[in-house]
Structure 1
C-alpha cells in the first residue's frame, strides 16, 4: 500500500486550532512486480474439501489439510516437490466425483437407545474410516469427545447444552479438522471405535471433474504456475513393503481396536486423447487469464519420438512441456524404493525458487530438480537437440538431475519462445493493470497522461534496476509513450487512453511491445512484436 502525498504544510506547522483542508495526490506510487512464484495444483488427494481451492503454505500444511501420499495418485508427490524446491505458497484443488464421493460416519446411541450423536468425516473419502473416537461421559449431561487420526489428536471437553458439539466442531476457524456433527440429540453412551464407510469418488472420475477443479484455480488471482499431475493414472505398486503406520492405541481406553486398513482406491483412467484435451484446456485457460503458465509433461514412459509427437498437439506461449518423468524415493515404501512421478510439480518448485532468489526474468533452467534421484529414461546429446528444436524441455541426470530447457509451446511467435520472457512480460502487464486501475473514469486529458506515464515508468524503472530488462541505459531497456501521438481525438471521444510501452527482455528474446489501454470498462493490455 502506498501513502498519498500531502500538498499542505505538515501537522506540526499549524500553530492554532482549526480545520485545515489538505489536497492529496490520489495516484498510487509505483511498486515492485506482482508475485510470480505461487503455484496452483489440481489432483487426487487423500482428503480435503471439493469445489474450492485451498491455500497451502508448507508441506506440513498440505498434509494437515489433504493428507499423505496415496498409492494411486501423484498430487502429494508434486506438492512435496514444489516445497522441497523452494516454493512457499500454493493453492490446491482436490479432484473427485462429488456425485459418488461420500464421507465416513458413525451413529452413537444414547443411554435410552436412540441415536444421540452422528459424526461425519470432514470430507469425502475412505480416509475417514481411520478416524478413531472415544466418548467419556461427564456428570451433568455432558461428555468429552476424543478424536485421533495418525499423529493428529483432538480433545473436545464438556460438550453439552452449554457447549453444543455441532456449533463447536463445525466452526470454520476453530472447529474440528477431522469430523462434523451431523446430528446431536443428547449425550452419547461411553464407547470407542472408528468411523465407517466412505467413498473416494474416483471410479466415476471424468475429464469434466478436472475441468471443474481448474475453474476453482482460475479465480485465485495470485496463481502464476499451474500443474495437474493426476491426469495420468498411477499404477498401484506390486512390489515393496508398505511403510507401517504408527498405531494410536493410547487414545482409546481398554483394548483398542486395530486401525482399519485402507486399500488403494480404483480410479477411472483417462484416455490419451482426453489427457491431450485437458492439457490444451490448461493452456487455453492460462492464455485467457494472461497471468499464469501451465507446466505439462509427456506421457509416462514415453520415448523421445513419442514425446515429439505429443508436443505437436500444442501451440501456446502460456505453457511448457517437459520430458521425461523423474524418479523419487517413495515415502510409501518401507524399503525406500523409487517411483516414477510426473515432473511438473517439482519444476514449479524450480520456477518458484528462481523467482524468489533472483527474479522471474531468470530462466528456470540448468537447475537441480528437487527430490529427483534419476530420470525414467536417458536423454543423450543428439536426442536433447531434437527435443530442443521442437521446444520440449529435457530433464537429464547431469550433475544431479537438472532441467535443461526454457522453451514455451509457441510455434510461430519467436518473441515468446522462452518461458522466462513470457512470464516476465505477464508479470509486468499484471502489475501495470493493477497500478493504473485508478485511472478509470478520470478526466482523459494531458494531466492524466502525465500521471500514467509517471506510474508506468516507476514500474519499469524498478524492473530495470533489478536486472529484469536488458540495456545499459533505461532508454535501451524500455520506452513509454503516453501523449497525443498515441491518443488521437477519435479515441478520446470513446473514453480510450493508450500508453504504449516498449520492453527489452533479457536475451535471447526479441523486442516486445506492450500497449496499456484504458477504456470506460477498465484497463487492458495488448501485445505485439517488433522483428
Structure 2
C-alpha cells in the first residue's frame, strides 16, 4: 500500500510484481463409471491405489467391467482414479431392527452404509449393563467374508459409551459420523433406553470377565470369531439390475461436480456390454460414447472407448467403426480387447477377457510421468503390464495397415517386447479427415495447456482490462509455456519457433473491453510422433576411397 511520509527519513514500499505462476494440472487422473458391489452412489470418490479401491468398492466383480479396469490402471502405472458407482432403482441396503429396552415402539435401526447385497455380510452386537442406569452401551459391527475359502471377519468396528438420549454420544450421531460400514437411526429420537443386549450375560471367555471391557467394550476375541454368539445379521440387501445407458450417462454428472479437481481420462467399459452380442450396430454404446464425448468437450477430458467383446477380428472392427462412427477429437479406441489372469484365486488362474481402456489409461499415466504428456503412449516401450495377450488372433502389419488409416489403434504382441500399444491416433485421426487433432499426444497436450490456463488465470476475472493486465497475462502464460519448452514439449529450436502468447490491443479491441472481454491468443508447435520411419538405402557403384 502507498507510504505516507510523516518525518524525514527512508521509507520502503513493496510493489507487487504481477507474477502469478501457472502450475500445470494433473494429466492422468482417470474416472471410471460403472456398477460396483458397494460404495457411495452417484458420488465421485477419489482413490489412490487398488487396495483402497477394494476397501471402498469391493473386489473385482464379473458384473463390473470397470473393476478389472481399475486393477489394470494401477498395475500399469496409474496414480489417481475417480470412481463413480451407479445403480438402478432396485438397489436397496441391508437392514436390521433392534427392539428398544423400554417399549416395543422404541427401536434402533441399522442399515448398511450403501445399498447392495454386500450388506448381508454385516453383523452387529449390542452390549450394556442394565444394572448401571447411567451407563452407555456398546455397539459392535463386523463384516464377514471369504478368505482362502474360509469365513473370516474382514472388518470390524466398536463404538463405546453410546446413549439413546440427546447428547454428545447420542448413538445415531456417533455411528453415522464414525462408521464406514453402517448408518443408524431411532424411531423415537432421544426418548428410549438402549436396545436389548444381544451378547451373552456371561462372557464366553472367563478371563475376560475380570476386565472392564468385558461388559462394555466387546471381547476382542469374540469380535474376531465369526462363530461367536450374540451377533445379529443384517438382511435384505439387493444390488438391483445392472445399469443401462441412462444410468451410465447419469454417472457423468458426478464427475462434473469435483472442481477444482480435474479428470483427465474417462473409462466406461460397461458401455461395451450394453448391446449384447452385436458386433456391428451398437446404439447403446454409441449413446454413452456421445454423452462421454460431450462431457470431455466441456471438461477438457479424453475418453477411451471400449469395443464390444463380439468385435474380435479386423474385418469386424472395420464394420463396427463404420456402423457407429464414434468420431470425436477427444476420444480414442483400441483393438482388440485383452486377456488377463482372473484375480479371483477361486477361479484357478483362468484367463479373463477384459476391456482395454483401464490398461491404456495406466499406460498413459506411466508415459506422462516418465516422458511427458507430449510423448505418444505407444511403441516398443509401451508394454501393457498384467496382460497375457491380446484377445483373438494375433495382429500383424496387414491388420495395422487396415485399421490405422481409420483412426483405430491396435494392440500387438511383438517378439522380445511383449504386448504393446501400436497406435496413437484419436478418432479424429482417420487419414480421410486430415485433422490437426490426428494424434493422441497433440490433443492431450492441448487439453493440458487449456486446463492449466483456466485454473491459473482465474485471478484475471474482474481485474482492470487494460495494458497492465495484458502485460501480466503475457508474462505468466509465457513463463508457463517456456517451462514446457525446456522440457521438450514443443517442436522448434527457440521459444519463438515453439510457442506464442499474444494479449494486447489487437486481440482485445475497445469493443471487447466494453463487453468485459479479454482475449488471449496462445499457440504452440506440437511434437508429432514418428509414425512412419522411412530408411533410404543406396548401393554405391564403387567402394569409397
TM-score range, shorter chain: 0.7 to 0.9
Q: In the TM superposition, what is the alpha-carbon distance from 1:21 to its structure 2 partner?
A: 5.8
Q: In the TM superposition, what is the alpha-carbon distance from 1:18 to its structure 2 partner?
A: 12
Deviations 1:262-285 (A, max 9, x none): xxxxxxxxx931111111211121
User: What corresponds to 1:390 in structure 2?
Assistant: 406
3-state secondary structure, aligned to 2:51: helix
Please state if 1:368 is matched with 2:360: no
User: What corresponds to 1:347 in structure 2?
Assistant: 360
Candidates 32, 41, 44, aligned match of 1:53? 44
Contact 2:268-2:306 within 8 A present in 1 as well: no
Please state if 1:480 is matched with 2:501: yes
Contact 2:275-2:283 within 8 A present in 1 as well: no
User: What corresponds to 1:325 in structure 2?
Assistant: 337
User: What corresponds to 1:137 in structure 2?
Assistant: 128
Q: Distance in 2 between matches of 1:502 and 1:369?
A: 34
Contact 1:301-1:324 within 8 A present in 2 as well: no
3-state secondary structure, aligned to 1:75: helix
Contact 1:293-1:423 within 8 A present in 2 as well: yes
Contact 1:74-1:234 within 8 A present in 2 as well: no
Q: Distance in 2 between matches of 1:198 and 1:52?
A: 20
Candidates 180, 184, 203, aligned match of 1:181? 184
Q: Distance in 2 between matches of 1:135 and 1:235?
A: 48
- 1:449–1:193 distance in 2 versus 1, CA, 3 Å: same
Please state if 1:197 is matched with 2:218: no
Contact 1:48-1:94 within 8 A present in 2 as well: yes
Q: Distance in 2 between matches of 1:96 and 1:133?
A: 26
User: What corresponds to 2:93 in structure 1?
Assistant: 103
User: What corresponds to 2:71 in structure 1?
Assistant: 80
Q: In the TM superposition, what is the alpha-carbon distance from 1:356 to its structure 2 partner?
A: 2.0
Q: In the TM superposition, what is the alpha-carbon distance from 1:216 to its structure 2 partner?
A: 0.9
Please state if 1:404 is matched with 2:414: no
Deviations 1:141-175 (A, max 9, x none): 5332222224211122232246222111101xxx1
- RMSD, aligned CA: 2.8
3-state secondary structure, aligned to 1:457: helix
Candidates 283, 288, 295, aligned match of 2:298? 288
User: What corresponds to 2:62 in structure 1?
Assistant: 71
Candidates 465, 476, 480, aligned match of 1:444? 465
Contact 1:78-1:344 within 8 A present in 2 as well: yes
Contact 2:19-2:475 within 8 A present in 1 as well: no
Q: In the TM superposition, what is the alpha-carbon distance from 1:316 to its structure 2 partner?
A: 0.9
Q: Which has the larger radius of gyration?
A: 2
User: What corresponds to 2:476 in structure 1?
Assistant: 455
- 1:435–1:112 distance in 2 versus 1, CA, 3 Å: closer
User: What corresponds to 1:263 in structure 2?
Assistant: none
3-state secondary structure, aligned to 1:276: helix
- 1:16–1:176 distance in 2 versus 1, CA, 3 Å: farther
Contact 1:145-1:157 within 8 A present in 2 as well: yes
Q: TM-score, normalised by structure 2?
A: 0.78
Q: In the TM superposition, what is the alpha-carbon distance from 1:420 to its structure 2 partner?
A: 0.8
Q: Distance in 2 between matches of 1:235 and 1:280?
A: 15
Deviations 1:205-248 (A, max 9, x none): 33211111011112334100000122244999xxxxxxxxxxxx
Q: Distance in 1 between matches of 2:9 and 2:2?
A: 19
User: What corresponds to 1:166 in structure 2?
Assistant: 172
Q: Distance in 2 between matches of 1:447 and 1:176?
A: 54
Q: In the TM superposition, what is the alpha-carbon distance from 1:424 to its structure 2 partner?
A: 0.5
Q: Any unmatched runs of 5+ in structure 2?
A: 146-153, 199-229, 531-545
Q: In the TM superposition, what is the alpha-carbon distance from 1:70 to its structure 2 partner?
A: 1.4
- 1:234–1:488 distance in 2 versus 1, CA, 3 Å: closer
Instruction: After TM superposition, list the pairs within 5 Å mapping 1:150-299 onto structure 2.
Output: 150=145, 151-161=154-164, 163-171=169-177, 175-183=178-186, 185-188=192-195, 189-190=197-198, 191-202=230-241, 205-221=243-259, 222-233=262-273, 272-289=282-299, 291-299=300-308
Contact 2:375-2:529 within 8 A present in 1 as well: no
Q: In the TM superposition, what is the alpha-carbon distance from 1:317 to its structure 2 partner?
A: 0.9
Q: Distance in 2 between matches of 1:111 and 1:434?
A: 56
Deviations 1:69-105 (A, max 9, x none): 21222121111111111111111110111x3211001
Q: Any unmatched runs of 5+ in structure 1?
A: 1-5, 9-14, 237-270, 510-531
Deviations 1:371-406 (A, max 9, x none): 211121122221122111111111122222211111
Deviations 1:83-130 (A, max 9, x none): 111111111110111x32110011122456726321100000011001
- 1:168–1:439 distance in 2 versus 1, CA, 3 Å: same
Candidates 109, 116, 122, aligned match of 1:118? 109
Candidates 306, 315, 320, aligned match of 1:305? 315
- 1:138–1:328 distance in 2 versus 1, CA, 3 Å: farther
Q: Distance in 2 between matches of 1:447 and 1:105?
A: 63
Deviations 1:285-313 (A, max 9, x none): 11232x21001111113122222222231
Q: Distance in 2 between matches of 1:71 and 1:495?
A: 54
- 1:235–1:16 distance in 2 versus 1, CA, 3 Å: farther
Work out the number of aligned pairs and report it: 458
